[in-house]
Amino acid sequence: MTPGIGRPAALTTAGWAVIGLLVGHVAAYDLVYPDAHVHATALETSGHGWLVALGPSLALAFLAVVLAAVVGARSGRPRVARFRTLVAIQVGAFLAMEVGERLAAGLTPVAIGHELIEHGLWLVLGTGILVQVVTAWLGSAASRQMAAATSRSRLDPRQRRRRTPLLAIPSAVVAARRPWSLRRSRAPPVRVISIAA
């Protein structure tokens, strides 16, 4: 069965988008601010207090992905999160979060613009966008693998045997089943004639 690549379920897409967004968000700051003290200060002054809920948020998103996989397997239409959809959601949400976090921390739009130019926010945004693209690709690839696995799990044993590659059959069995020398020869088949004495 071919997974429903063109029509991914909303739950599958939302789950993988949240996972990629949160992991990419944290990874972007880790890459831009490798020093622990500078990293902590940057998060504290930019409205990242919500990171205390990072673990539960990731757990809920992963639960949504697993639930979508189970529902897709039972319905016979495994769902796949498309890469382009994940990129659009994650990059848009990341940029909105960065602005929203700073507004919530008390910065004005003018101050955010100053921070963008003078304090390296452009580096955070650029790195974050690249990381979001990577995590979107990983999420899409993981959803495809999960959809393929659920599709295989629904096959009955006879269908699984039919899908076994020919190379997996022992060579002795192949030789016994395919007498190439007789079937591929243009000469008539050899006949054994017994002559009575």
Which of 167 and 67 is assigned the larger pLDDT?
67
Distance CA 183, CA 14 (A): 57
Of the pLDDT bands very low, low, confident and very high (cuts 50, 70, 90), residue 191 is low
Question: What is the mean pLDDT of the segment spanning 98-116?
Answer: 88
- Of 145, 36, 129, 16, residue with least CA distance to 81: 16
What are the tens digits of pLDDT across the range 34-77?
Answer: 998 888 888 888 888 888 888 999 999 989 888 887 777 676 66
Long-range contacts of 62-67 (CB under 8 A, 24+ apart): 62/15, 62/19, 63/15, 64/11, 64/12, 64/14, 64/15, 64/18, 65/11, 65/12, 65/15, 65/16, 65/19, 65/143, 65/146, 67/11
Q: Is the pLDDT of residue 143 over 70?
A: yes
The contacts of residue 114 (CB under 8 Å, 6+ apart) are none
Q: Is the pLDDT of residue 162 over 70?
A: no
Judge whether 29 and 121 are in contact, CB under 8 Å: no
Q: Is the pLDDT of residue 14 over 80?
A: yes
Question: What is the mean pLDDT of the segment spanning 111-140?
Answer: 90
What pTM value is reported for the model? 0.68
Question: What is the mean pLDDT of the segment spanning 4-19?
Answer: 73
Q: Is the pLDDT of residue 86 over 70?
A: yes
Q: Is the pLDDT of residue 134 over 80?
A: yes
Q: Tell me, rounded to whole angstroms, the distance of Cα 57 from its chain centroid.
A: 18
Of the pLDDT bands very low, low, confident and very high (cuts 50, 70, 90), residue 116 is confident
The contacts of residue 171 (CB under 8 Å, 6+ apart) are none
Query: How high is the pLDDT of residue 158?
Result: 56
**How many helices (DSSP H) and strands (DSSP E) are in the chain?**
9, 0
Question: Is the dihedral angle over the CA atoms 149, 153, 154, 156 positive or is it negative?
Answer: positive
Which of 18 and 163 is assigned the larger pLDDT?
18
